[in-house]
Structure 1
Amino acid sequence: MDDEKTLQEELCLPILLADRVLKSAHEAESSKLECADLAHQVDRLSQMLRSAVRIAAASPSLYERPVRRIAADVAKNLDRALTLVRKCKHSGVLRQVFSITTAADFRKVSSLLESSIGDMKWLLSVFESDGANLSLPPIASNDPILSWVWSYIATIQMGQLRDRVEAASSLVSLARDNDRNKKIIVDEGGVTPLLKLLKEGSSAEAQIAAANALFHIATDQERVRTVIELNGIPMIVSVLGDSPMRVQAAVVRLVAEMAELDPIAQVDFARENVTRPLVSLLAMDTVLDEPKPQPGKPSIHSLVINKELVGKGANSSTRLGSFSSNHYHSDGSSRGGHYRKDREREVESPEVKLNLKVGCAEALWKLCRACLLNSRKVTETKGLICLAKIVHKEVGELQLNCLMTVMEIAAVAESNPELRRSAFKPNSPAAKAVVDQLMRVIQEEGNPDLQIPAIKAIGSLARTFAARETRIVGPLVARLGNVNVDVATEAAIALGKFVCLENFNRVEHSKTIIEFNGVPSLMRLLKATDRTNELAHLHCLELLCYLALHVGNSKALEQAQVLSTLEGELVLLWHKIQI
């Protein structure tokens, strides 16, 4: 109910109480000197309150939170003063007995009124200086952070541009300290002015400061939801699509953070089509080959592109052209502001461009994790081809983030047949490019951080490969003998998806694993994980059981004494159950 009142209504109550105190003080018949002193303090308060009303009426963008808090506290103190001075209006002996006042009562109320005067003085100074006041009001004497937050937020909302940038940076410093400060910033209404500062585009520095502040504040699901409820996602996406690269780099970091923390944020970002500018930025300076037409029935990939071209008319050239490394408009027409942006990109340092690409890849990774909508949107553009090319030519964090994105899309496709068939159709150029790079990483890279997501992605796509796809199964079998147990375990998990009951080609894949001498490597891995890694041990057992089930008459299984090994594992399991 308090939030529904206007600011003028909030200030009317203490003004009304002040008038009543003054009237009662003038009518006092006892303790007249003390009542006169209180009346002097109340009169100062009344003047300050009326000044606040005038400022509120003249400033539609006024930061209201401290006004409401201080007005409520002033009203409470004035009410105590009114109760005290009314006791001084005697009318009879009996009333005098029950209305005894002491000097201590007056001192206590006077102290409260003096605190209210200090609060109002601080409040007016904040408004007069557009928020730039870091002094400590009495109301925040037990919590200095509160007054600093008030001052910074007031500056962001009402101050000059340079002061607003400094205030946003100061909120970053406070938010970095602890979660309590972040909660205070959110509770005191700091998100809305930060979003406004981000959206305004007054300067790149202001937008970066706002994006960094939001990034350090929205570090848990509850605070991310606050940003969502304040309609922050459309603002963030609009800034991402049309801002200097330094601003975009800060914004993509915020997108990744929000997407990682909240599935609702993932969906809302998908509704705003955030994947399109992200893929566009990721693909800058990268030449994306157009898919070659296939004889016979066109692929889903080409159908999607043709639908974009035919269904969207002139705008489609802008959208698809945005993935070009040179122009946002593929036909060269109506370049306008995009030409200016291209010129700005040409003068940006390689470090800024790389930082932006790394952030875009991370954002796509977090957006696609367990999210069908975002995964589909990436695959419906040139996203897969872009990711494949970057995995091929880049190194370091950018390459890793792109691999993680592919891994997440493949994981979603594993549980969604429609996406698996449309995006990873074997004769699709995009799917072929992705699989080729995944296999190259598995075979040629020596870094487990890169090999593991590549192996996981191939495992998720196991049901898309033909029965005798030795090009895929062979390198996975080779990884069973990897010196890194985690890599070997992921290979076992992936191979398990090739031979599981849900895979139509499970028998043929099982034979291929045995042909590539996978059983000895699997047995060694089984022994290596016996006591060190129970989960990895179970995955090895699962793969071994599938092989025994599908090709139980194999000499390789007999020579490796697989049956006796499985019997021994069964006995151990029985003993564990009994214990």
Structure 2
Amino acid sequence: MAAKPSSAAVLPTSIPQKLQTQKQRAIEQQEKRIEEVLSYPILLSDQIGEAIKEVGSFKTECAEVAKEVDDLCKKLRAAVRLATSTTAGATFYDRPLRRIAAEVSKNLEKTLTLVKKCRRRSVLRRVVSIVSAADFRKLFALLESSKGDMAWVSSIFDAGGGIVLSLPPIASNDPMISWVWSFIASLHMGQLPDKIEAANELSSLARDNDRNKQIIVEEGGILPLLKLLKDSSSLDGQIAAASALFNLANDEERVQSIIDHLGIPIIVQVLGDSPMKVQIRVANLVAKMAKHCPLAQEDFARENVIRPLVTLLSFGLFMDDTKLKSGIQSIHSIVQINKELEKKNLYKPGSGSSLSMHGSNRKERRNEKPEIKLQLKISCAEALWMLARGSVQNSRRITETKGLLCLAKLVETEEGELQFNCLMTIMEITAAAESNADLRRATFKTNSPAAKAVVDQLLMVIKDSSDPKMQTAAIRAIGCLARTFPARETRVIGPLVELLSHRSQDVATEAAVSLGKFACPDNFLCVEHCKTIIEFRGVPPLMRLLRGNERAQLNGLILACYLAINAGKSQELERAGVLNAFEGVDRAFIAQHPELRELITQAVYHLSVFHQSHSGLLLAQRQF
């Protein structure tokens, strides 16, 4: 007998209005108590029994219907007892029962309609309301499907939390929904091994595709996963829960669902209290949630997640550092901060959670494998990167925890993914400082040990790294700090000028962008910086950059314009043929980038004043 297609299979083909109506009904169903949901099909069963007593035709078929409906009603009443029993308590998972009860109600409504057509009536009414044997065959198929669905949902609860992978008729066209129901039911009602297995299965399903993720969230999988994550009695359970949540959190709406279930305080608490292997998964979860949801960035910061991340990142960093004995202020301050953080509660008062690292917890950390310690730092650095991205407030919080010193030290001493994540975090902080004068003045003062350490490491990457990605990030960070450097800052501008000749056009272009921030009118020292760029022989490689791709040409032209406007008197500009380069710019290119028109006009004017007749100036101006 063909099972009735599940709603999950029908939804994709429905029109938008029908989708909205079904969604509204689903919301209304969820708001009702499960006893109310089950009372309606039971009432229909009673009405069918009364209607069958009055039938005048198809008495044999109606008697069989009565038996089927009676069996179904017994299953419904048993479900009510189960749902209201004291043993089920708060762990009762009613989502599949609600969906199945809704399907059963539809089938019972059809049954009642058909039975009423068989009641004793006049000959004329019987002719109008024609009933055939085929109608009863279809009806028996629907009732069998409903009985199968109720038997399946009973097996879920009778299994005592074990995983049931049989397929109910309601899910015949969409097996995924029944698997998700079974796994979530195990999370609610199973023993710890069952919960771990179920969380791992959900994690695997969520890894496959976004539709599976959405089903898990819609069917209520977030809350039991958070409860398992919070259960500190099982390391495997916490890892399984964190992995499942991580695989779900690749979309703003699903991250919002984790937030709505009050997941962020739980995540922050577990980050502080757990063994390193769990902390790695939780830090990864923090990074992914922050990456996909700006609200998560704010809520994590509000729950003070940045302090434990910085502390975990710096744990053990300077214990064996020979520089510690030299009395370097920045290193010494980090050590002192670590000691203070170990003594203090890293969370809000009353949270009952701290990252003390004392006693057995501290010993466990020291005895952990080096690769685990490294992976934890990599994960924490990525979390800080995602938290800082586009957020002035979070960047400020990182600097307030003295995280810049730790990040700079790791850029200096580490390599690979950890070094890259730390560098990207620094880049995001500098970008925030570029857009916020208060943060820039407070964090990147000339005499600040943290600022000096950061700039030193950025320059080290710019000069020594062979990885274009690393160089590009460091160049961008230096450019963001352009307004913090004093006049004739040769140790910064020199390396950037050298990169204008880099074999990678992307790196050379990024150097032009960064130098443009030194040379632009927004920089109070733009005239001095422009002179320094020219003194370091930056004009010839800049002219070569103008022959590159569109991005290289655009940013090269912008920098060349700034040099001409601020240092047009220089003979270097004339010898390099900058004026001719301006006059040779394609008009279509300028039309694509309107910001160039005024810049080039000003640049041509300044160059013509010092190096060319006024007739040449007029000719150039007419061109643009």
TM-score (norm 2): 0.83
Report the alpha carbon displacement of residue 570 of structure 1 after superposing the two structures with TM: 6.2
Code of the residue aligned with 2:150 in structure 1: it is: M
> CA separation in 2, counterparts of 1:16 and 1:233?
43
Report the alpha carbon displacement of residue 382 of structure 1 after superposing the two structures with TM: 1.7
Per mean C-alpha deviation after superposition, the further-off stretch among 26-35 and 388-397 is: 26-35
Report the alpha carbon displacement of residue 320 of structure 1 after superposing the two structures with TM: 8.2
Partner of 1:513: 533
> CA separation in 2, counterparts of 1:428 and 1:290?
21
Partner of 2:363: 343
Partner of 1:124: 154
Q: Is 1:374–2:394 an aligned residue pair? A: yes
Partner of 1:325: none
Q: Is 1:148–2:179 an aligned residue pair? A: yes
Code of the residue aligned with 1:88 in structure 2: it is: C
What secondary structure sits across from 1:2 in the alignment?
A: helix
Q: For structure 1, which runs of at least 5 residues remain unmatched after alignment?
A: 322-327, 330-334
Partner of 1:501: 521
Report the alpha carbon displacement of residue 258 of structure 1 after superposing the two structures with TM: 1.3
Residues 408-487 of structure 1: pairs in structure 2 closer than 5 A: 408-487=428-507
Determine which of 192, 195, 199 is the counterpart of 1:161: 192
> CA separation in 2, counterparts of 1:315 and 1:358?
20
> CA separation in 2, counterparts of 1:575 and 1:187?
50
Q: Is 1:554–2:570 an aligned residue pair? A: yes
Partner of 1:274: 305
Determine which of 38, 42, 51 is the counterpart of 1:11: 38
> CA separation in 2, counterparts of 1:13 and 1:52?
13
Report the alpha carbon displacement of residue 236 of structure 1 after superposing the two structures with TM: 1.3
> CA separation in 1, counterparts of 2:585 and 2:70?
88
Q: Is 1:522–2:542 an aligned residue pair? A: yes
> CA separation in 2, counterparts of 1:315 and 1:386?
14
Counterpart contact for 2:307–2:346, Cα < 8 Å: no
* Structure-2 change in CA distance of 1:291 and 1:424 (3 Å): farther
* Structure-2 change in CA distance of 1:208 and 1:37 (3 Å): same
List per-residue Cα deviations over 1:462-505 (Å, max 9, x = no partner). 00000121111111111111112111111111111011101011
Counterpart contact for 1:26–1:36, Cα < 8 Å: no
Code of the residue aligned with 2:93 in structure 1: it is: Y
Residues 91-490 of structure 1: pairs in structure 2 closer than 5 A: 91-129=121-159, 130=161, 132-287=163-318, 317-318=343-344, 338-490=358-510
Q: For structure 2, which runs of at least 5 residues remain unmatched after alignment?
A: 1-27, 348-353, 595-622
List per-residue Cα deviations over 1:192-242 (Å, max 9, x = no partner). 211221122331111111111111112122212222222222221111111
Report the alpha carbon displacement of residue 365 of structure 1 after superposing the two structures with TM: 0.8
RMSD (Å) for aligned C-alpha atoms = 2.6
Counterpart contact for 1:411–1:457, Cα < 8 Å: yes
What secondary structure sits across from 2:104 in the alignment?
A: helix
List per-residue Cα deviations over 1:280-305 (Å, max 9, x = no partner). 111111128799899xxxx9x99xx9
Code of the residue aligned with 1:86 in structure 2: it is: K
What secondary structure sits across from 2:440 in the alignment?
A: helix
Counterpart contact for 1:292–1:429, Cα < 8 Å: no
Counterpart contact for 2:268–2:303, Cα < 8 Å: yes
Counterpart contact for 1:291–1:430, Cα < 8 Å: no
Counterpart contact for 2:57–2:118, Cα < 8 Å: yes
Report the alpha carbon displacement of residue 98 of structure 1 after superposing the two structures with TM: 4.0
Counterpart contact for 2:385–2:422, Cα < 8 Å: yes
> CA separation in 1, counterparts of 2:215 and 2:310?
36
Code of the residue aligned with 2:229 in structure 1: it is: L
> CA separation in 2, counterparts of 1:86 and 1:545?
88
What secondary structure sits across from 2:358 in the alignment?
A: helix
Per mean C-alpha deviation after superposition, the further-off stretch among 194-203 and 425-434 is: 194-203
> CA separation in 2, counterparts of 1:466 and 1:280?
33
Code of the residue aligned with 2:209 in structure 1: it is: N
Aligned length: 550
* Structure-2 change in CA distance of 1:420 and 1:508 (3 Å): same
Report the alpha carbon displacement of residue 547 of structure 1 after superposing the two structures with TM: 0.8
> CA separation in 2, counterparts of 1:273 and 1:292?
31
What secondary structure sits across from 1:569 in the alignment?
A: coil
> CA separation in 1, counterparts of 2:465 and 2:489?
21
Per mean C-alpha deviation after superposition, the further-off stretch among 170-179 and 416-425 is: 170-179
Partner of 1:25: 52
> CA separation in 2, counterparts of 1:180 and 1:574?
46
Code of the residue aligned with 1:491 in structure 2: it is: A
* Structure-2 change in CA distance of 1:161 and 1:291 (3 Å): farther
Identical aligned residues as a percent = 57
Counterpart contact for 1:131–1:153, Cα < 8 Å: no
> CA separation in 2, counterparts of 1:564 and 1:101?
93
Determine which of 527, 535, 538 is the counterpart of 2:551: 535
List per-residue Cα deviations over 1:309-368 (Å, max 9, x = no partner). 9xxxx98942589xxxxxx89xxxxx6x73221122122111111111111111111111
Report the alpha carbon displacement of residue 432 of structure 1 after superposing the two structures with TM: 0.9
Code of the residue aligned with 1:318 in structure 2: it is: K
Code of the residue aligned with 1:235 in structure 2: it is: I
